[in-house]
Amino acid sequence: MPHLVELAAQFAHRPVTIVSIDSGERSEAASDLLDEHHVRHPVLNDEGREVFGDYGVAGVPTTVIIDHAGRLMFRHVGFSPGMEERFAREIETLLGWIEEA
């Protein structure tokens, strides 16, 4: 979660929105974790797992990077140190494609 907070800050002045999605009712522990990491980006609840289905989420965490039309451009299952740099490069790539269009 901290890596998403950092990405949201890094791209705050660019046409990028970071959104996290819960897979059900948020527990008190999960709410505490969001507060602890100062999460300010939207955290939505996908109780019916419709978004999970739309983007083929089979494992948690899954990070998807979608374009402005909602198309899946990049998907990552799991997380390891350094992946936030890869996410940033992929976001920059996507922004470059949009700017070229």
Whole-number pLDDT of residue 55: 86
pLDDT tens-digit readout, 64-87: 998 888 889 999 998 899 899 999
**Among 26, 53, 58, CA closest to 42:** 26
Q: How many domains does the chain have?
A: 1
For residue 49, pLDDT over 80 is answered with: yes
pLDDT at 101: 64
Q: Please give the residue range of the domain that contains residue 54.
A: 2-100
Interatomic CA distance for residues 34 and 62, integer angstroms: 17
Q: Which alpha helices (DSSP H) does 15-73 contain, by range?
A: 28-36, 50-54
Q: What is the pLDDT of residues 1-25, one digit of tens each?
A: 788 889 999 999 998 999 988 887 7
Q: What is the CATH number of the domain that holds 48?
A: 3.40.30.10
Residue 95, phi then psi, degrees to nearest 5: -60, -40
